[in-house]
Amino acid sequence: MLVQQIVPLIRAAVSRGAVKPIGAEDLEELAAEGFALAARWLDSAERHGKIVSPNSLAYYAIQALKSGRRSGSSGRTDAMSAAVQLDGAVTMTSMDEVLRTDAEANCDITLHDVLAGQSESADMVAARNLDWSMVAERLDRRERYVVRETALETPGTKLAKRLKVSTARVTQIKRKVAGKIRDAWGNDALQDALRKQAWQSRRIKGRKAA
């Protein structure tokens, strides 16, 4: 019943504009929300031994979507919910919205700058540790030492003295390590590691433009 009768009814209603998308929603997403609501009600009806018609379930799913109800939430306590936006209680603002101009830094301060975390998230740290373990097992003790000291911005001349080798040899070790990193992570690994986040790049461009 769900697949053959209810889903086509909901899809047709959404396609002809019976429900207007809210925020970043699209028609496919709205239809999927309707499918999920109808499936939940159909399951509940079957478990309680009730008989429901496809037309009724499709109708109530569409009405629920119109009121802002979604499969993940039916309340109005979430500021990002469709229902709250329909009530006009919140306003969606672009992350590029300029809050003020920093005269000293000669650039605009946007929501990106205010909300973006200045420290790495736990998932990024965990992902990097997992990625690094792929490389670390390919490096010998001296190569790991060079990588660590390079990350600490130790000059190549100091590294050469500590390792009792020439600066040219330190450069060779670094190139060898870079090759192993590319073998483990791909050719774009080093560029990705040095690439700034999108919001940081926008801010830098704003400074240059100013």
- pLDDT computed for residue 75 by the predictor: 66
Give CA–CA dist 138/144, Å, rounded: 10
Residue 96: pLDDT band with limits 50, 70, 90: confident
**pTM score:** 0.44
**Nearest by Cα to 67 from 19, 120, 110, 133:** 19
Percent of the chain scoring above 90 in pLDDT: 36
Flag whether pLDDT at 118 surpasses 90. no
List the domain boundaries for the chain.
2-87, 122-209
Q: Six-digit token pair at 147?
A: 């990588």
Q: Where are the alpha helices (DSSP H) in 52-93?
A: 54-66, 82-87
Cα–chain center distance at 21: 22
Report the C-alpha dihedral over residues 182, 183, 185, 186, rounded to 10 degrees: 70
